[in-house]
Homo-oligomer: A and B are copies of this chain.
Amino acid sequence: MSSGDRQRVTVTDVARAAGVSTATVTRTLQNPDVVKAATRERVMEAVRRLGYSPNPMARNLRHGSPSGVVGLVTAGFTNIFQAWVAAGAEAELRRNGLQLLIGSTDDDPAREPELARIMIDRRVSALLMMPDGGERDYLRPEYTYGTPVVLVGRPAGGLDVDVVMTTDDQAVDEATDQLLSLGHRRIAALAGRADSFRAAQRLSGYRAALARHAVPERQELVVTGLTRPQEINAAITELMQRPEPPTAVLALNLGISSGVLLDRIVNRRNTAFVALDENDLSAGLGISAITRDPFELGRQAAVLALERITDPTARPRTVTLPSLLVRRGSGELPPPSAAAGGVPGGGAGEVYRADGCGVARD
């Protein structure tokens, strides 16, 4: 049959069918006002009948015009935080008639440049980069050929590009400070890839609070490099079985937060706990968490991209969104040794329902 033909209808076909030149077809589509109404009708009829749509590659080739597509590079499709960022960017771009396409590095820093290159080569109107890989040289202007680049949640590192950041360090500092004020002295901090900017940013908040309270950092309470669920589970189990287990736990990314939460439920622990980022259940279960509104993060990234598309000469900007500590109880628990004083803000009354912005799907 003809299903495999991939034989496309071109302007020439339409022009012949309508008895006009290709220029008139193009004009009818691009600038209808300059074409006589009768001709316009004839052309449109042919377009409809043949099912013509312009080949965007040829169009792009001729006039290096914006493609109407914005690319986003994520660390992984199943990274739900980054998925919400993508959703936020998508919504804002769509409001402006642009389409978002996303690609995943699958947490492999080596694939960032490849994916960025693919998107730049396909002439995305802008490129949003979320992974937290090390090397960023491939985003230097000589490689991006003027494609606007927005970095999400990681710094520019001398690059002349727009950036959207969050104040994770301040929020972790605030959470740590609160735990220290409650009397905690052994506060574990669990983080992801040791070489990532984000882990460093968050740990710096932890250390700042410790320093302010003149509490020396204990090396053995800082665990980094946790990525796989088994590692996370092993780490938390080992921590809690020590002779001197931590009295409070800071989980410094979403995966770790989920792992610690599962451990709390399964093993019925009541250690003080502050999560970073939320999952389906954390709000409903009274987990104090540092939240970052990923949807807004993505939206802002899209806004920056749109502005740079409009005015490529504008000075790159850095937008900072607040990371907020939401107190729901688990982060307000005192250490076991402390007298049973009033728990500030804690308690079952603060158990919220999860009514987040999400829509359930299948």
Contact stretch, chosen from A39-47, A176-184, A239-247, A273-281: A273-281
How many monomers of this protein are in the complex? 2
Give the residues from 251 to 284 in chain A that come closer than 8 angstroms, CB to CB, to chain B: 252-256, 258-259, 261-262, 264-266, 268, 270, 276-277, 279-281, 284
A87 is an interface residue with CB less than 8 A from chain B: yes
A225 to B327, CA, bound (A): 33
A255 to B80, CA, bound (A): 14
A3 is an interface residue with CB less than 8 A from chain B: yes
Select A265's contact among B115, B122, B142, B359, beta carbons within 8 Å. B359
In the complex, the chain B residue whose C-beta lies closest to that of A161 is B3
CB distance from A211 to the nearest CB of B (A): 24
A254 to B78, CA, bound (A): 14
A229 cross-chain contacts in B, Cβ below 8 A? 354-356, 358-360
Select A57's contact among B6, B123, B330, beta carbons within 8 Å. B123
Give the residues from 83 to 141 in chain A that come closer than 8 angstroms, CB to CB, to chain B: 83-84, 86-87, 90-91, 94, 99-104, 106-107, 115, 117-118, 121-123, 132, 141
CB of A76 within 8 A of CB of B80, answer no
CB distance from A220 to the nearest CB of B (A): 21
A145 cross-chain contacts in B, Cβ below 8 A? 5-8
A353 is an interface residue with CB less than 8 A from chain B: yes
